[in-house]
Amino acid sequence: MSARRFKQFAGALVLAVLLTGLSSGGPAAEKQEVDLIVLGSFVVTMDAEQPIIRNGAVVIDQGLIVAVDREDILRQQFVGREEIGGTGRVLLPGLINGHTHAAMTLFRGVADDLDLMTWLREYIFPLEAKFVDPDFVKVGMQLACWEMIQSGITTFVDMYFYPDVGAQVVLDCGLRAVIAAPLIDFPSPGFEGWQDSFAEGLEFVKRWTGKSERIMPALAPHAPYTVSPEHYLEVLAAANELNIPITTHISEDYAEVVDMQKRYGTTSVHHLDQLGLFDAPLIAAHMVWPEKSEIPILAAKKVGVIHNPVSNLKTGAGIAPVPEMLAAGVRIGLGTDGAASTNDLDLWKEMRIAALIHKGVNRNATVMPASTVLRLATLGGAEALGLEKEIGSITPGKKADLIQVDIDSPRLMPLYDIVSHLIYAVEASDVVTTIVSGHVLMRDGKVLTLNATEIKTAAARIASKIKAHIAKE
């Protein structure tokens, strides 16, 4: 063979090898190593680009979602240092609980079957004055976080006393939260009144701003009937200066409607809008009694409304006009409220009740379909919190906040529509995996970041004191 023919042959051979390598994913397509790959027989992304993926996977690295697609496709490109199997499991975004008073788990069942104002003024406020201290908040928050991790809640908004203590518990256990310092005009645990609680609330926000990507500090004026207009304006000015959200109760009960008319001659919604609260990032809990003319205002001002159906039903507060608000474009999420009123922190129950009550009161089975309700607990909740760019869907670039639900049980067979199952059949106990920012907080139903034995012992200690006090009353 001549030198020229040999060079031609060798060149063709090299080209053939290169082309073979490229087409087969050889050396030219070396796999990228990532922190974690999580699988699912179904991946419900809440992302319009690819809503449901059969036999899918989510690739996670450095706390973020890198890719989501079919498992066979992603395995060609990625290899995980750790992997969580998904056979018989649904993988979906972590649930978002838009309104809690988490440490009130220690008041679970202490006063039931009462209207809201009687429950608050005659039972809860006096018990809080006597028992709420840093130890109470620590144990109550740990108990709440344990319950929420077990049930697949990865983000929550909390409004309760000693927020530094609550924030530290959240930081330690791995959840994500908006922790809001509560503000009220009359004496409250640790404070004589507005001035000292407001001053300490500002210091709390400054201490926690930028401390962790999982903790967002905020301010929480209690409600228009417990906070004066002047004090709401102070909160607004501070929130604008510090670039933080505000969360407050609005239009929760008809007694509030009557009270606001007597005090100010207007509604809670109109009152706070006139003060300028709706021009700041605002998370509005309950919103049971807005007037029809006020709903477009809530939409235009991008107020984040949190629907708490179980709490509102149990206290006889009413049923929020959620379908009407959604139709107008209001940002709406779901919340459990505190376990003192709802008796649990179960967002799956909230989803099911939200789907059912609105069908009933509207006498229309097509109202609040399963897909709409699931969105309220995920991406809709993120929008209500102003966090839709970070959480709420399984989308590359967002925080890796995910859960797995086990659907391999007789109660969940047969399966025709996975979204229908998630709303009408799945229960909180079906959650088996909880992940926040790529960190596994629960695996195979076992919470890894909290000591269950210590929490049980501490909760029993505090409960015994509350029981003894109630027995003397």
**Is residue 25 scored above 90 in pLDDT?**
no
Q: 């009462």: which residue's tokens?
A: 114
254-274 pLDDT, tens digit each: 999 999 999 999 999 999 999
360-383 pLDDT, tens digit each: 999 999 999 999 999 999 999 999
Give the tokens for residue 392. 């709420």
Average pLDDT over residues 184-191: 92
Q: What is the pLDDT of residue 292?
A: 97
**Is residue 19 scored above 90 in pLDDT?**
no
Average pLDDT over residues 275-290: 97
Average pLDDT over residues 423-439: 98
**Is residue 27 scored above 70 in pLDDT?**
no
Average pLDDT over residues 14-28: 40
User: Cβ distance 234 to 198 under 8 Å?
Assistant: yes
Average pLDDT over residues 151-167: 98
**Secondary structure of residue 53 in the 3-state scheme:** strand
Q: What is the pLDDT of residue 146?
A: 98
Tell me the pLDDT of the chain averaged across its residues. Answer: 94
**Is residue 21 scored above 90 in pLDDT?**
no
Average pLDDT over residues 426-438: 98
**289: Cβ–Cβ under 8 A, 6 or more apart, which residues?**
251, 252, 253, 254, 256, 257, 267, 268, 318
Q: Which of 229, 233, 231, 206 is closest to 217 using CA atoms? A: 206
239-248 pLDDT, tens digit each: 999 999 999 9
Q: How far apart are CA 468 and CA 159, in angstroms?
A: 27
Average pLDDT over residues 264-290: 98
**Is residue 28 scored above 80 in pLDDT?**
no
- In order of their start, the domains of the chain are 94-390 (3.20.20.140)
Q: Is the link from the previous residue into 187 a cis peptide, with omega within 30 of 0?
A: no
Q: How far apart are CA 211 and CA 192, in angstroms?
A: 28
Give the tokens for residue 445. 């139903």
Q: What is the pLDDT of residue 473?
A: 76
Q: Which of 184-188, 218-222, 303-307 has the lowest mean pLDDT?
A: 184-188
Percent of the chain residues topping a pLDDT of 90: 91
Q: Which of 6-10, 37-41, 127-131 has the lowest mean pLDDT?
A: 6-10
Q: What is the pLDDT of residue 220?
A: 98
> Is 413 exposed, middle or buried (CB count within 10 Å of its CB: 0-12, 13-18, 19+)?
exposed
pLDDT band at 95 (very low <50, low <70, confident <90, very high): very high
Q: Which of 136, 133, 154 is closest to 63 using CA atoms? A: 154
Return the beta strands (E) in 71-167 as ranges.
78-84, 89-93, 95-100, 153-159
**Is residue 234 scored above 60 in pLDDT?**
yes
**Is residue 400 scored above 60 in pLDDT?**
yes
Q: What is the pLDDT of residue 24?
A: 42
Helical packing angle, 194-208 and 163-173, nearest 10°: 30
User: Cβ distance 78 to 34 under 8 Å?
Assistant: yes
Average pLDDT over residues 51-77: 98
Provide the 8-state DSSP code for 190: T
**Secondary structure of residue 196 in the 3-state scheme:** helix
pLDDT band at 14 (very low <50, low <70, confident <90, very high): very low
Q: How far apart are CA 106 and CA 248, in angstroms?
A: 22
Return the beta strands (E) in 362-449 as ranges.
402-406, 431-436, 439-443, 446-447
Q: How far apart are CA 163 and CA 182, in angstroms?
A: 8
Pairing between β-strand 32-44 and β-strand 89-93 as defined by DSSP bridges: parallel
